[in-house]
Amino acid sequence: MTTNPIMATNAYRLFVNRLCRSCPMKEQCSLFKKFIEQQERNSLESTPLNHSEVQTIDNHLTVSSSQHCFLCLDVLHRYTSDEFIQQIKQTAQSTTSDFQSFCCNLTLPLNLFIRHAYLLKFLNKYVGECNEKDLPIIKDQWRNVMIDRLEEALERPYQIESPFEINITFDFSGEAEELNFLRRFRYADNPKLQKSNANEAFTRQAVTSVLNNITFEDFEQYYKPVINGKTSCTISAQHDSVYIAGRYNKYSRTLSQTPWIIDGIRKADTSVEELIALPISKLISAKHYVFLSSGREDVDVRTLGRGRPFVIEFRQPSRILYQPEEFHAVQDEINTSTKDVRVRDLQQVSKEDSNQIKEGEEEKTKCYEALCYTDTQIDQEELDRRLASVANPLVIEQKTPIRVLHRRTVMTRQRSITELCATSIDAYHFRLRLTTQAGAYVKEFVHGDFGRTKPNLTMILDRFVDILELDVLAVNIDFPPMLEIENEQDNACDTNGK
Ligand SMILES: [Zn+2]
């Protein structure tokens, strides 16, 4: 009997003897399957291989087994078992109890691609022409045998774009060692670089591009697979954020919108954000939340009328579906817990709808009322006369106000004012109503900010004017949908801004 040169290769020993029984990597690759069958026939005809060399692995490897399938690293048998499905189910359900669909993301050890490239080069050399397309894709094979069973176990449909992602990450204990094989070729022309990049991580792309330049002979000579390495797996899951929207009123002139913390020290007991978000976060248990609002008011400014729209994004929620009654209850809880803040229209919104809060930032208008003081007397007739001479809309230019210079870039913004009227209180005081384009600095429009805002009310009334109190009466955006019809005095402000 003459020894076939194929049988003397390392590749032969690895690919013929070290696969799980009926490994899809073999069964689904016609060229490889034909080759293996041929080998089996040959070995029956001639003297069988030494028994100790034939190490066909059983399909049901135990965890303690020191062997793994050379071409699938056990991903296609140990990690397709019913027991593994139960593990996935447990992780999924304990992450988000009421997910409605799911998808699976698999991350595979990179050395798997080295092994597949080796197989292709082996087949090309000894069996017949083939390329990457002829090899089954492990992730597809895994999904083929798992998705139906997972759908049944989880009682939810599999959807590629599902907001609930189950991440299954496989690690192989010999991965780093095998990747070292690639380093030899990655910097073949530059040993210096090879040394300095000894710990450089490989991306999937880098692995593929290096593999293209490695010959079968290189594999035979230099590739030392870690044949007693072990595969392990971590399962995690996460659901897309839950978005809760509403509108809030702020009745306090000493409450900041966000927690006021300087150098790690709290400067105020609470904030609008905390008064609203903390009770809601008890309902929606999530990893963390982000509070967004349609603009923000200063500490000493109240927000009246229907209030200011806000959205809270709850990330990695453990539950996603809620009943309207649950929002009513938490809204009542907020509104009875404080006199400083009031919430309405609390509801769950989609991610797409939540974007409305940031859209149209330039176009939306806000309506204000300001209590103003002048240093020289002015009566209603003069107020009316001077304001009547103002253009409508009035376009003002505002340099970044002095009071926010420390946190904003210096620039000049143009903003328009579409409503401007005043009601005298006494000789030195009047109430000013104005509707502005969002982003206008109202305080600066009134006193002029040392000429940084032009024109300003001090110029228009031809005397020094300052602002004593400011209220936001309306933030004119059509979001979130109104849930209650109310008739409040504060709503009197004309929402068209005319
Ligand atoms: Zn296998």
The Å distance, Cα 18 to ligand 1 centre, comes to 9
Band (pLDDT 50/70/90 cuts) for residue 184 is confident
Specify whether 172 is located in the same domain as 289: no
Q: What is the pLDDT of residue 200?
A: 73
* Residue 105 domain-assigned (yes or no): yes
**Residue 156: both structure tokens together:** 């939810």
Of the three residues 322, 357, 392, the one that is the final residue of a domain is 357
Q: Note whether 124 and 82 are same-domain residues.
A: yes
Q: Which two tokens stand for residue 92?
A: 């999924």
The CA distance from 458 to 460, in Å, is: 6
Q: Does residue 302 share a domain with residue 166?
A: no
Do 34 and 78 have their domain in common? Answer: yes
Rg, C-alpha atoms of the chain: 35
Distance 222 CA to ligand 1 centre (A): 24
Cis peptide before 309 (omega within 30 of 0): no
Other residues' Cβ atoms within 10 Å of the Cβ of residue 313:
18
Which of 134, 218, 298, 494 is an active site residue?
298
One domain, residues 38 and 170: yes
User: What DSSP string describes 336-402?
Assistant: HH-SSEEEEEEEEE-HHHHGGGTTTTTT-EEEEEEEEEESS---HHHHHHHHHTS-SSEEEEEE--G
Are residues 414 and 323 part of one domain? no
- Residue 450 CA from chain centroid, whole number: 44
pLDDT > 80? residue 44: no
Q: Give the pLDDT confidence score for residue 67 in this predicted structure.
A: 78
- For β-strands 465-476 and 301-317, DSSP reports them as parallel
Range of the domain at 427: 365-476
Of 357, 373, 396, the one marking the end of a domain is 357
Our answer to whether residue 298 is catalytic in this structure is yes
Same domain, 100 and 198: yes
What is the distance in A from the centroid of ligand 1 to the CA of 60?
11
Q: Taking 50 as the threshold, does the pLDDT of residue 148 lie above it? A: yes
In three-state secondary structure terms, 146 is helix
Residues 6+ away with beta carbon under 8 Å from 268: 254, 255, 256, 259, 260
pLDDT above 70 covers a percentage of the chain that reads 90
Distance CA 385, CA 258 (A): 41
Ligand 1 mean position to 26 CA, how many Å?
A: 8
Q: Which of 148-152, 263-267, 336-340 has the weakest average pLDDT?
A: 263-267
Digit-coded pLDDT (tens) for 397-440: 999 999 888 888 899 999 999 999 999 999 999 999 999 998 89
- Distance of CA 15 from the midpoint of ligand 1 (Å): 10
Using an 8 Å Cβ cutoff, are 85 and 153 in contact? yes
- What does the pLDDT read at residue 77? 86
Query: What's the one-letter identity of residue 138?
Result: I
Give yes or no: residues 43 and 185 share one domain.
yes
Sheet-wide strand order for 103-107: 103-107, 164-172, 231-239
Query: Any idea what the CATH number is for the domain that residue 458 is in?
Result: 3.30.70.3190
Grade residue 192 by pLDDT with cuts at 50, 70 and 90.
confident
Confidence band, pLDDT 50/70/90 cuts, at residue 274 = very high
Q: How far is the CA of 432 from the centre of ligand 1 (A)?
A: 78
Whether 194 maps to a domain, the answer reads yes
CATH of residue 298's domain is 3.30.70.2510
Question: Could you report the per-residue pLDDT of 305-362, keeping only the tens digit for each?
Answer: 999 999 999 999 999 999 999 999 999 999 999 999 999 999 999 999 999 888 767 7
pLDDT over 90 at 86, yes or no: yes
Query: How far apart, in whole angstroms, are the C-alpha atoms of residue 92 and residue 96?
Result: 6
Residues 221 and 257 in one domain: no
Instruction: From 42, 41, 35, select the one nearest 15 (Cα to Cα).
Output: 35
Cα–Cα distance measured from residue 42 to residue 51, given in angstroms and rounded to the nearest whole number:
15
Higher model confidence: residue 429 or residue 486?
Answer: 429
| 495 vs 43: which has the higher pLDDT | 43
Give the phi and the psi of residue 306 in degrees, each rounded to 5: -80, 0
What is the domain count for the chain? 3
CA distances to 122, 215, 234 from 7, in Å? 12, 18, 37
How far, in Å, is the centroid of ligand 1 from the Cα of 235? 20
